[in-house]
Amino acid sequence: MTVTLSEKAEFHLRALLGGSAPDANGATKGVRISVKNGGCSGYEYAMDITSKPQPDDLVTQQGKVLIYVDAKSAPLLDEVVVDFVEGVMESGFKFINPNATDNCSGCGKSLKAGDSRPTGVPCS
């Protein structure tokens, strides 16, 4: 199971994580990446800052960023590349996912994988 961060994504995540400094209890912060039901294509990506991974999370590190991957999401996130794009109209994290059979070109945060269940809801 691999998740790769582009240089820009790692840079922006390090900034969000406060340089990966330990929290008040000494735990190192990281980013938890998952896929959940929803979005216009059936699934949507989720990223959360945490210092408390779930017991079944897969843990990896890229550079100075700890990455926690939800075990249920791992098959849909295998070999995904997380990039950070900057533009005049929109900036943010972008997922390049070889497992996706379709992506929403409107919101950019939703994917379909195979015979996607659940069905999507139109994005606004």
- The number of residues making up the chain comes to 124
- pLDDT digit string, tens, across residues 63-114: 989 999 989 888 888 888 999 989 887 788 888 887 765 565 555 565 556 5
List of residues 6+ apart from 42 with CB closer than 8 A: 110, 111, 112, 113, 116, 117, 118, 119, 120
Quick check: pTM over 0.85? no
